[in-house]
Amino acid sequence: MTILLAEDDPVTLESLAACLQPEGFRVLLARDGEEALMLWRKHRPDLLCLDIMMPGMDGYEVCRRVRAEDAGVPVLFISAKSEEIDVVVGLRLGADDFVRKPFGKHELIARIGSALRRTQVARSPVGRFQMGSLSVLPAELRAQREGESMDLTPREVSILKLLHERAGQVLSRDTLLDVCWGLDYMPESRTLDQHIAKLRKKIERESEEIIETVRGVGYRWRGQG
């Protein structure tokens, strides 16, 4: 597995590499956004870890350009920026996770492992499934409806798979977080809601609700269609 690390502080960059290389990862190092984009296009790594504040092209712009070419590669932001709006912006651009500085080695490795596993599961040979008028194609990381195609991230595929498999059941937030984020770390409570809101904008239309909010409990797909 190859991981691209983009960070403008050389000490932090080398420290991150020193954490990941003993775990068996091949690590590509970028010191700014432009170098990160160049290395991604040349080597197509399995995962990107991007600092947000970098000279020239920041991490947000790198993520936006990567997502324009590849909807499925996992992207993690690593940043000292910690306001909720920073997380929301990152998620809207298609990031899979947001790791705040300072963080521990084991937390970073766990989050990277979870993101890679989600990608492998999402791309496993599972046939398409139907949710109302929406067709979900897990192996292609996309959904379609009446000729319109929507790119999905591995985590979005995982959420839809779980809702489809348990049609009619109300899934608690803890269940969704455990299955779709992993048991090795616990995201903040707002993370799930932000992902669901972004996913709804992609796949729902006014005449058809796919993901129903059950207040105080979690979410459900009723199983129509």
In terms of domains, do 77 and 142 share one? no
Domain contains 92: yes
Domain assignment of residue 225, yes or no: no
DSSP 90-140: HHHTT-SEEEESS--HHHHHHHHHHHHHHHHHHTSS---EEETTEEEEGGG
Instruction: Count the domains in the chain.
Output: 2
pLDDT reading at 85 higher than 90:
no
Residues 104 and 7 in one domain: yes
Q: What does the pLDDT read at residue 122?
A: 62
Measured distance CA(126)–CA(109) in Å, rounded: 27
Distance between CA atoms of residues 114 and 40, nearest Å: 21
Least trusted range by pLDDT, from 10-24, 112-126, 195-209: 112-126
Among the candidates 85, 107, 122, a domain finishes at 122
Q: Is residue 106 part of a domain?
A: yes
Together in a domain, 51 and 141: no
Domain of 103, in residue numbers? 2-122
In this predicted structure, the answer to whether residue 88 has a pLDDT above a threshold of 80 is no
Whether residue 160 lies inside any domain: the answer is yes
Q: What is the pLDDT of residues 1-48, one digit of tens each?
A: 899 999 999 998 999 999 899 888 999 999 999 999 999 999 999 999
Q: Which of 112-116, 120-124, 149-153 ranks highest by mean pLDDT?
A: 149-153
Is residue 140 located within the same domain as residue 186? yes
190 in the same domain as 88: no
Based on the fold, state whether residues 137 and 104 are members of the same structural domain. Answer: no
Do 160 and 98 lie in one domain? The reply is no
Regarding whether 75 and 15 lie in a shared domain, the answer is yes
- Do 156 and 81 belong together in one domain? no
Give the CATH number for residue 93.
Answer: 3.40.50.2300
> Which residue, of 93, 122, 151, is where some domain finishes?
122
Whether 144 and 166 share a structural domain: yes
Residues 49 and 143 placed together within one structural domain of the fold: no
User: Is 112 in the same domain as 173?
Assistant: no
Q: What CATH number is given to the structural domain containing 208?
A: 1.10.10.10
- Check pLDDT > 60 for residue 189: no
- Residue 145 predicted with pLDDT over 80: yes
What would the two tokens of residue 98 be?
């947001």
Q: Is residue 81 included in any domain, yes or no?
A: yes
- pLDDT digits 0-9 by tens, 158-183: 899 999 989 999 999 888 888 887 64
Residue 165 lies in a domain: yes
Integer Cα distance of 59 and 50 in angstroms: 6
Looking at the domain assignment, is residue 166 inside a domain?
Answer: yes
* Nearest of 195, 175, 16, 190 to residue 107 by alpha carbon: 16
| pLDDT above 90: percentage of residues in the chain | 43
38 assigned to some structural domain: yes
The residue out of 99, 122, 145 marking a domain boundary is 122
